[in-house]
């Protein structure tokens, strides 16, 4: 029987992600590109995922889009909610997961997943940058490093400078002030990670989320945030091996189940 290829494309506010799945089981190609302006990010994510998989558009049985920009991708055959895509993705990789935390550049979500992989409940923050990856981006700029290096700074810290402001704009002023007073940058970076983790933990507590807890989204790259989150929640938080690709993977799997009914 011929192989069935499906694509999931997750159009986030910070990055666009594509996954090509073979027969609903094997990721054969993927892409992560900055969202950029207009349709450049979605188009690039789509082209790069196809190229990475070595397949052509006509080989794809279905393209399923999800994420913040999901309705603006014309090539999509089907559009699904990001929450559904994430629930499908995490349940397929980690059937034991009961809570998924997805923290991206502009929003954070905590979702309860049933034993059968259904989305039971969710809590979302898409209002306050201090509880999303945006906080790390703002602070990385102040520290003069790339966002991927904030965790390296935090790991070097011997102490911690707590961040008291609950708003990203005020937190940035607080960090600038601390830096002008000569505060140790790694300790400040650790304070930033702890501050973000405490906001994410509030979401999980509001949800009443149970373990095992898994995490997806770009912020999962930051081990400082993940460790602080485990401390806040008093339980392990496992970062999905596919991290930022979980939504796109879930969408590709949804597409496979649809065409293979
Ligand atoms: P979205 O789906 O909302 O577009 P992502 O899930 O791609 O967002 O996450 C983007 C966020 O992840 C960025 O704001 C940044 O804070 C964080 N991030 C991305 N890559 C890394 C990295 N390598 N190390 C640390 N943080 C990262």
Q: Using one digit for the tens of pLDDT, what is the confidence trace for 78-124? A: 999 999 999 999 999 999 999 999 999 999 999 999 999 999 999 99
Strands 78-79 and 60-66 come out as parallel
125 lines ligand 1 (CB under 6 A): no
Q: Hey, which bits of the chain come out as E strands? A: 5-11, 15-22, 26-34, 60-66, 78-79, 99-103, 108-113, 119-125, 213-216, 237-239
Assess contact for 161 and 136: CB atoms under 8 A: no
The pTM of the full predicted model, rounded to 2 decimals, is: 0.95
Could you give the CA distance from residue 181 to residue 259 in angstroms, rounded to a whole number?
A: 61
% the chain with pLDDT above 70: 100
CA distance between the termini of the chain: 15
pLDDT value of residue 204: 97
Q: Using one digit for the tens of pLDDT, what is the confidence trace for 121-174? A: 999 998 889 899 999 999 999 999 999 999 999 999 999 999 988 889 999 999
13 lines ligand 1 (CB under 6 A): yes
Atom number, ligand 1, closest to the C-alpha of residue 12? 4
Assess contact for 10 and 259: CB atoms under 8 A: no
pLDDT value of residue 39: 80
pLDDT of residue 1 exceeding 90: no
């Amino acid at each position: 029987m011929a192989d069935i290829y499906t694509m999931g494309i997750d159009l986030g506010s910070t990055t666009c992600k594509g996954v090509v799945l073979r027969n609903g089981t094997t990721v054969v190609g993927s892409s992560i590109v900055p969202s950029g302006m207009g349709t450049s990010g979605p188009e690039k994510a789509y082209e790069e995922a196809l190229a990475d998989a070595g397949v052509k558009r006509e080989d794809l049985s279905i393209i399923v889009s999800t994420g913040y920009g999901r309705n603006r991708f014309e090539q999509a055959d089907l559009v699904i909610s990001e929450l559904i895509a994430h629930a499908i993705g995490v349940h397929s990789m980690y059937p034991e997961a009961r809570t998924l935390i997805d923290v991206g550049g502009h929003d954070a979500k905590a979702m309860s997943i049933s034993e059968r992989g259904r989305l039971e409940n969710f809590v979302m923050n898409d209002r306050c940058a201090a509880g999303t990856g945006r906080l790390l981006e703002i602070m990385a700029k102040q520290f003069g490093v790339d966002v991927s290096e904030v965790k390296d700074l935090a790991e070097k810290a011997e102490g911690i400078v707590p961040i008291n402001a609950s708003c990203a704009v005020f937190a940035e002023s607080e960090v600038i002030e601390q830096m002008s007073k000569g505060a140790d940058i790694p300790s400040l970076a650790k304070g930033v990670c702890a501050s973000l983790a405490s906001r994410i933990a509030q979401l999980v507590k509001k949800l009443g989320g149970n373990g095992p807890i898994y995490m997806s989204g770009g912020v999962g790259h930051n081990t400082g945030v993940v460790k602080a989150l485990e401390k806040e929640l008093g339980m392990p938080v496992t970062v999905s091996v596919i991290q930022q690709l979980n939504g796109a993977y879930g969408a590709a799997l949804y597409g496979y189940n649809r065409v293979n009914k």
